[in-house]
Structure 1
C-alpha cells in the first residue's frame, strides 16, 4: 500500500468518512469531502515531483477538531483484534498542548507527508532524538498526529520488521517531562506517556518531512 501515496490517501479518506458518518469525528461530511478532494490534487502534484522519501509512511491524513475525541478515536485503533485505550495517569490527553514551533496548518484537514516512525533512532531518548530529527530538516509529531498515524496504519504498533511504536514530543505539558506515546500494552493499543530522557528498544520519536493543507 505504500508504493502509491494517492491510493493510501484514498484509503484513509474512506476510513475517516466512516468515522464522520458514525459520529466518532464531529465534522461536516460535505465540507470534509470538498477539502480532501482539493488536498488530494495537491498531494498528487507533489508526489509526481518529489524525491524518494526517507520515512516509512508516505502520507497520513489528519482532521482537526477543537474538542478532540481522544478516547473515542483510540477505540477505533484496532491491533490484533483489540481496541485501543487511554491510560495516562496521573495526566489526561487534554493536558498536553501542541508546541508553537511546529507551524500546524490552519483549516480542518491537512496531511503529513513522509512520516518516519524512527526505527533508526530506537534506543535514543526523545530529548536527544529531537535534535537529530531537526538536523535532517524534519519535525516531530503532535499527539493527535501520532494517533492518526496509528489509526491509519495500526501495524506500526505490532509489526517490528517494518515499524515501531511512537513517541510524539510535539505535544507537551509545560514544566513536565512526560512525552505522549502510543504502543501495544496489555494486549491492546495504548495512548500513554514515557519520560523525556528515557530510552526504549521498541519505542522511538516519530517525525514528518512536511505538512500540507489546502489554501
Structure 2
C-alpha cells in the first residue's frame, strides 16, 4: 500500500444557498418531491458560514443515484451509470453510518482521499474510521461533482465506499461504488468519452487513480 502525495487542492465549495439554487436549476428538488422553497430555507438556516466548504445533500431515499447521475456533465456529456450496475439504487449506507432523518442535510470537511490512491476499499475503510472520518455515500459523491465539477479529474477520481449492497444472507456484496471519467471504450460507447461515470470496483482491488472520498460528519442541526 502506498500513499499518493500528488493531491490536487480543490477550490472551496460554493455557499449552501448557491448550492440550493444549483440543485433547483437541475431539477433535483422535483426528483426529491420537495418544493424549491424548502431547499432555499434549509440552506439559509443551516448556519454554515460561507467559505466553510460544506456540501448540501438530498437524502438518497428521496433522490437516488440513477436519477442524479445524468445531471452530471463534463465536456458537454451527461453522466451515466454503467450498464452492469442496474442495482445502483439498492446500495445503501453502511450500518456504521448514521444519516440525518431528514430529506435535506449537509456534510462537512470533504476530502477526495487522493493520498489513499492505490489502496483497496477493504484497506481504506478502517483507516478512515480510525481518523474519525466518514466515507461518502454514492449519492453524496454525485452531489459533490454536481456542485464542484473540479472534484472529478483524470487520474484523481474517487470511490464512495459508504454505500454498499447487502445480499439476501446479510453479507456485503463485493462491489464498491465509484465515480470516475469514462474513456469511451467497451460498453460505454465512444459518445460517452470524458463523461462522468458511476461504476463499481471490487472491495479487495487497488486502483492508482481512485481515492476514497470522505467527510468529517453529517451534522444533524
TM-score by length of 1: 0.82
In structure 1, runs of 5+ residues without a counterpart are 48-57
Which structure has the highest helix share of the two? 1
Residue correspondence of structure 1 range 1-215 to structure 2 within 5 A: 2=11, 7-20=14-27, 23-39=30-46, 42-44=47-49, 47=52, 58-64=53-59, 66-87=61-82, 89=84, 91-158=86-153, 164-174=156-166, 175=171, 176-185=173-182, 186=184, 187=193, 188-214=195-221
Shift of 1:44: 2.0
How many residues matched?
A: 197
| Residues in 2 aligned to 1:90 and 1:73: alpha-carbon distance in whole angstroms | 15
After superposition, the CA RMSD in angstroms is 2.4
Which structure has the highest strand share of the two? 1
Shift of 1:31: 2.0
Instruction: Identify which range, 82-91 or 183-192, moves more after superposition.
Output: 82-91
Give 4+ residue runs of structure 1 displaced > 3 Å after superposition. 20-25
1:166, 1:181 within 8 Å by CA — same for their partners in 2? Answer: yes
Residues 140, 28 of structure 1: alpha-carbon distance in 2 compared, 3 angstrom cutoff = same
In structure 2, runs of 5+ residues without a counterpart are 1-9, 185-192
Shift of 1:138: 0.5
